[in-house]
Structure 1
Amino acid sequence: MQAEERQKTIMELLHARQQVMISDLSARFGVSEMTVRRDLMQLEKEGLIRRTHGGAVPTDSSSFEPPFALRARTHADAKRAIAAEVARELRDGQTLVLDGGSTGTAIAEALVGRNLTVCALSMRVAEILASSAATRVMIPGGQIRHGELSIIGPAAARTLADHRFDTYVMTVSGVDTAAGLTEWNVDDAAVKRAALDASASCVLACDSSKFGKIAFARVAALSAVDTVITDAGLTPDQRQAVESDSTTLRIA
């Protein structure tokens, strides 16, 4: 298990238990206690935990949703490959909505300089795309969600409802055959539903670790997506579930 995966698991355990011990983590991961201490030092440096004698506790800002700083370092290679495949999927001149999150920012980086009109649902995505005059960047009204920098609220949903886009490039926290597409934050989920309603087609971009996961707020059924772009980590059953919904599956 790579350091990023261990650190993500540590954050999930902290949410569930409110405390973890170095000795327990060492046994769980099959690594030395020094390796665990390095993981905790990194998480503390990012402000995600507070180390204690023999373990760690979450900071006040921690939540069950893995923080952006940690997600950005997890499955980074897969996200870049997915982003490149999304870029190939889109045609110049299109209008689209682009989600935020770590995968959304990777996609924005792959689209810099493209002749596109993009409604960015994240300040991070907007800043990346605005670096090139070739791309027209829209920002909906609403509130900026602290930490995540996504744009949320009724004003964001109204902006989306007032337009019609060719494609919505959606990212999510969980993909499950029964539960569908889910997000940790209910405000983010509401804006995603509005973006889906405002778009002629939807491309779901997420790495394979999201499959089989269920987050708190439902966005839509898997069948609402036209194309799924992910990495080669899907199980045969997961591939079959995606394709059985008449959804096009592309492996980056």
Structure 2
Amino acid sequence: MRMVSEVFKVGAERQHLILRRALADRVVKIKDLAAELGVHEMTIRRDLDQLAEQGLLERVHGGARLLEKASEEIAHQLRATKNTEAKEGIARAALNLIEDGDVVALDASTTAFALAQILHTRKVTAIVSGLDAANVLAQNGVPFLMVGGNFHAPARSFVGAFFMDTIARLHPDKVFFSAKAFSFATGFTDPHLPEVGAKQALIRSGSTVVAMLDASKFERRALATIATLDQVNILITDRAPPADIRAALDAADVKLVTQEEQ
């Protein structure tokens, strides 16, 4: 199966929306998509044909159906293409915190993956749990340790008891993690419980803990708390957070770094 990122080379935004609709509804109709996206039905037929050729959808009469084997891959890749510019800016700001000789640990988030893509510009050793980060580090010649465990397909990562036992024995200089949401009341939260446990263990292992969140995640909450402010040393974001969050960061002695300052 081709990676979903290849889909976005032609008709990027339109096919992006079609895949999102397919994830939500499982079956999409040509007539409905044409009306929703404001294009001719023939254009939608071509889009569906291209997506079917790549093994992402199956053509059915009048539309297409999401292939079960492709759903997790699509979901992961769509997350990777969301707020890309913000994630890249946050990654560059994170890189400025890394010194040659550091041992850095990255969670399996797409923001950490953006950091992994530029980590070769520092002389470091990395600890990772995500397959995508491991692949890019290998390609770029960055020494790294892959921490295994139970494979968690939605994030293409390893989680579980074996992961947490192993990471507890490691002591990276800096840990970089992301979350689905942050609020003062609930802290850094995420909806995927296997990932929550892995991120918690990763955070406990580090000397310096760096949270990386784009501004769209502020004043929101997800199912489970990963960490509270007292467990984090630095927060990197793309834009200055609301005043109440800035006040909470100051009160917790958490350093705020924004992309705008870089």
Distance 1:227 1:54, change over 3 A: farther
The structure that has the greater radius of gyration is: 2
CA deviation after TM superposition for structure 1 residue 123, in Å: 2.5
- CA pair 93-184 structure 1, distance change in 2 beyond 3 A: same
In 2, the alpha carbon distance for the partners of 1:46 and 1:207 equals 31
The alpha carbon displacement at 1:65 in A equals 8.8
Contact 2:89/2:259 (CA < 8 Å) preserved in 1? no
Give the TM-score taking structure 1 as reference length. 0.77
Does the aligned pair in 1 maintain the 2:107–2:202 contact within 8 Å? no
Offset at 1:46? 4.5
Q: 1:50: which partner in 2?
A: 58
2:103 is aligned with 1:95: yes
- Separation (CA, whole Å) in 2 of partners of 1:223 and 1:36: 50
How many angstroms does 1:122 deviate by? 1.3
Instruction: Choose the corresponding residue for 2:164, options 131, 140, 157.
Output: 157
Distance 2:72 2:244 in 1: 27
Q: Deviations over 1:190-242 (max 9, x none)?
A: 1111111112332222444545665555423466443333334x7xxx53354
Task: Give CA deviations for 1:75-100 in whole Å, capped at 9, x if unaligned.
Answer: 33333222222111222222221122
Q: Specify which of 72, 75, 84 is matched with residue 80 of structure 2.
A: 72
Query: What are the superposed Cα offsets for residues 145-196 of structure 1, whole Å, 9 maximum, x if unpaired?
Result: 3464312221111111112222211123x21425543334322221111111
Distance in 1 (CA, whole Å) between partners of 2:72 and 2:189 is: 14
Query: Pick from 175, 178, 196: which aligns with 2:181?
Result: 175
| Residue 109 of structure 1, CA deviation | 1.4
Aligned to 1:192: 199
Residue 91 and residue 124 in structure 1: after superposition, are their counterparts in 2 closer, same or farther (change >3 A)? Answer: same
Query: Is this contact kept in 1: 2:93–2:257, CA < 8 A?
Result: no
74 and 35 in structure 1: CA distance in 2 versus 1, 3 angstrom threshold: farther
Partner Cα separation in structure 2 for residue 75 and residue 228 of structure 1: 17
- The percent of aligned pairs where both chains have the same amino acid is 31
Instruction: From the two aligned structures, give the one with the greater helix fraction.
Output: 2
* Alignment partner, residue 125 of structure 2: 117
Gap runs ≥5 in structure 1:
none
Q: Report the equivalent of 1:107.
A: 115
Q: What is the deviation of 1:120?
A: 0.9
The structural deviation recorded for 1:20 is 2.9
Q: Give, as a single letter, the amino acid of the residue that structure 2 aligns with 1:200.
A: S
Which 10-residue stretch deviates more, 206-215 or 192-201?
206-215
Contact 1:222–1:242, Cα closer than 8 Å, also in 2 = no
Q: For 2:242, what is the secondary structure of its paired residue? A: helix
Alignment length, in residue pairs? Answer: 245
